[in-house]
Chains A and B, each alone.
Chain A
Amino acid sequence: MKILIKNGYVYDPLNKIDGEIMDIAIENGKIVESVSGEVKEIDAKNMIVMPGGVDLHSHIAGSKVNAGRLLRPEDHYKDVEKKTNIKRSGVGYTVPSTFTTGYRYSEMGYTTVMEAATPPLKTRHTHEELNDIPMVDKACLSVLDNNWIVLDYLSKNELEKCAAFIGWILNAIKGYGIKIVNPGGVELWGWGKNVKTIDDQVPPFNITPREIIRGLCKINKMLNLPHTIHLHTNNLGTPGNYRTLIESMKCVSDLSNGSIVLHVTHVQFCGYKGYSWITLSSGASEIAKFVNENKYVTLDLGQIVFGDATTMTADGPFQYILYSLSKNKWINADVEAETSAGIVPYRFKKKNYVNAIQWSIGLELTLLVKDPWRIFLTTDHPNAGLFTSYPKLIAWLMSKKAREKILKKVNKRAKSKMILPTLEREYTFYEIAIITRAGTAKALGLKNKGHLGIGADADVAIYDLNPKEIDPSKDYKKVRRAFRKAAYTIKDGKIVCKNGEVVENISGKTYWVNVDIPKDLLISTISEVKEKFEEYYTVKMENYAIHENELLKSAPLKINSNL
């Protein structure tokens, strides 16, 4: 199908296009220079045209997500989706079922989503769910930092072999990148313990979190992976942890050479100043200062949205703390030789002091970090809020008035401690396009995504907003409404949603990195690892690997490693 999107206000930051009136031509699923012949024209006059949304951190598929669904039947009853001629039925709210997840992302103009943490041993499950998430392209990050074979290698400083092993894993399980979750702490959680600083020892490996982060950062470069290491820091969700965050960012400063080498995820959860929940305050200024001065890190928000959430992370010890505080239902699910997972339902309340501070930290950070290319919009779905709340976040960022409306209702003591009320910055559409698509695609190293240049994937979102007429600062409700239901979502050159409704059900691709590792190194590493592997795991190495034909639409990214 050929499509011509006519006369829209185009926001394409990767190509430095800031609201120019332009036509966008599409043919064979790609953006092209021009089209002729039989062309479907879309009149985008007085509308905004952006690349399709790219979410770089969301929990949408896999064993932990499914355990979250299982845990909360009460959550499903209030949000059901009927079957239609086009859509499968499902349930929504905090942990939507697979089909519903795909539709809802698509209806908001999103076209690519990264599942942010998947244990390698259970990645076959993740792919099975990704196969059942329609409409969007997707990929998954592999939790590798507490993997015993990785730790064994790192502690001996055998980085090349470790890199070869990680390259093998990513190929074998069709993963996209290296996810780090509470390095060392999650391994100790196997015994019910945790680490407190990035220099704590992790027995019996004789290694510290600092060494794990640094080792994996080096390996990420050796493998030449498209995305940097993706770090969930130690001490997540603990008062005073903004220091751990800054320490963790600092610890890779010498590995940068000016390039970006680290992505820290859901920073709101690690931006806490103070010594207890009573003295909790925001560490946003300190973090933003560091990030503004050090160009080698990117962040995403994990913005709190008041209301129901289901917290789920591979950070088992953190989830246990949350369970102990909230006494809500608690699932823990450790994965042999690799990682852990915890799930606790949670409700963020405006009148709660801690929750209000948490809410302000995310927004303060986004407003204080000067470079939008290095801070991205997420809610760590479904941890801090739901992905369906993104339009709300956009409104908060674009409108001080929208923020003030909430500020009137939050806990008074919390409000008195915030700097948020003093922040005047309001994001522009251009900046919103960066933090929701251009920047995230760039950070993920997805070269054909997040922009509308010739040759890019024809993933486009059109929003019914006239940037010349509306003032987002005042009309934030209109902004919210428009981003909630895209006028058009175009995926791979097909119109898949119209006026926020799915009009065609398609299946997206699953990206994974196919890293080439020098053959000799690969063979020697695998033969060295095999015995250990079968000693540590309960499955055979051969059966751990996932065949490409288990992916509904496999999209390998060929990577030439630096090994």
Chain B
Amino acid sequence: MKTINNVVCSFCGCLCDDIEVNIENNKIVNVKNTCSLGLSKFLNYDKHRILKPRIRKSKEFVNVSLEEAIDECVKILSNASYPIIYGWSNTSNEALRIGMEIAELIGGVIDNTTSVCHGPTIIGVQDIGESTSTLGQVKNRADLIIYWGSNPLHAHPRHLSRYTALSKGRFVKTRKERKIVVVDVRKTATASIADIFIQIKPNSDYELLSALRYAVNNGEIEQNEVAGVPVEKIEELAEMMISCKFGALMFGLGLTMSPGKHRNIEAAIALVTDLNKYTKFVILPMRGHYNVTGANNVTCWTTGYPFAVDFSKGYPYYNPGETTIADIIARGECDAALIVASDPISHLPIESARKLSKIPIVTIDPHETPTTKISKVVIPSSYVGIEYEGTAYRMDGVPLRLKKIVDPPDGIISDEEILKMILSKLRGD
């Protein structure tokens, strides 16, 4: 039995890098230090795998060679006049670098799952900036931690123990030295371990954030309650924020996806920015997929924009709402799609999913998903972080190297290698 230490878990945006994996005969037999989500990935990654490339011929799928699948993909992409390339948050930066080149070459639109999760977060930052930090700053310094519209105990189970409430920092060592506040519409698992839980009326985050900002800057609020929260509670929280030594606001989709979207984020950022007049305060988004932050970064250094980039003019063009794939699909404009490491059919609105199913789709993915089921071409890939190495960015932008710990099934290669083959065929090399 072989033991590999300090493996990075490629499940959620926490990218825990202390995982211990035992391997026997190229099989993972035991895993230590993960949460249940990570554990289930490491132990089940080899279930429901696609093992052969396939093409839909008339109604049926037919298994084909890798070369044939690549040829078909190249044909679909080069015949399309406005193709979209989508996914990326569950693969490596190296794969996306090739994806960027493909998108540029075929004059398509490239987008990542940010479009449907933290897109508003990015737009909020583009509007006013942000005061942020890496998670270690929170671990070492934060005596006030606020989770807003996020439930890490379910979505990022080790976030609290590695980086926040339960972590041991240089300056703040124990749970007792930290105040934990949860703002949410219902009493979540995370709320039940908080010092203060603030239950907010659904869809009124903007109001509460504005009231807090008012309290922080000006003091007394006239009303008795805002967003279902009594004013005393708001003022108490404002006072806690002002008087802490280092505060951190961590927000999730509860804030990005409730009405107001990027306006909510702007309000939250503005509040945190204002707090820096009195103390140190940072804001951090709770990013879901393990490399959605990497996808934003690669797209940004290549084109200047972090998602939703349209190359149809021969240069990068960005206008969320216009160049975001959900909108392009809804308008019925695209005529082919390349999907990498993502399952848009399960996540897009039903109407868009229906439209998407009408155009030829090429999907590169290790396992079956609703998207592979309706694809024209399916090319199986290996798992980055288990069967292939690559770079991924933690939710706070800390880049880590994912390891290869076992061999992939016979004949299965990585996204990066598949995309390189597609690119070179498209180029006519």
Contact = CB atoms under 8 A, between A and B. Distances in A.
A529 to B, nearest CB: 14
A302 to B, nearest CB: 23
B129 A329 contact: yes
Interface stretch (B188-196, B302-310, B367-375): B302-310
A536 interface: yes
B276 A91 contact: no
Secondary structure type dominating chain B contacts: mixed
Interface stretch (A270-278, A369-377, A471-479, A540-548): A540-548
Given A121-B134, A536-B136, A82 B315 contact: yes
Contacts of B122: 70
A290 interface: no
A331 B305 contact: no
A330 B18 contact: no
A335 interface: yes
B416 to A, nearest CB: 13
Interface stretch (A73-81, A153-161, A355-363, A460-468): A73-81
B17 A539 contact: yes
Given A71-B126, A320-B276, A76 B305 contact: yes
A270 B163 CA distance: 37
A63 B305 contact: no
B55 to A, nearest CB: 30
Chain B interface bracket (under 10, 10 to 19, 20 to 34, 35 or more): 35 or more
Interface string B115-148: 0000000100111111111111101110000000
Interface stretch (A124-132, A175-183, A449-457, A516-524): A124-132
Secondary structure type dominating chain A contacts: mixed
Given A71-B125, A334-B282, A538 B163 contact: yes
Interface in B86-138: 93, 97, 101, 104-105, 122, 125-137
Contact of B400 (A63, A190, A333, A543): A543
Contacts of B8: 543
Interface in A390-443: none
A80 B309 CA distance: 13
B382 to A, nearest CB: 18
Contacts of A547: 401
Contact of B393 (A80, A125, A333): A125
Contact of B397 (A89, A125, A191, A536): A125
A330 B5 CA distance: 39
B420 interface: no
Nearest to A74: B126
B29 interface: no
Nearest to B283: A332
A14 B207 CA distance: 66
Most interface-central of B296, B305, B315, B391 (chain A CB within 10 A): B315
A286 interface: no
B398 A539 contact: yes
A16 interface: no
Contact of A329 (B127, B132, B305): B127
Interface of B: 5-6, 8, 17-18, 93, 97, 101, 104-105, 122, 125-137, 139-141, 162-163, 168, 170, 245-246, 273, 276, 279-280, 282, 296-298, 300-306, 311, 313-318, 391, 393, 397-401
Please list the 6 inter-chain residue pairs (A to B) with the smallest Cβ-Cβ separation, ordered nearest first: A336-B136, A334-B133, A91-B304, A192-B280, A124-B399, A329-B129
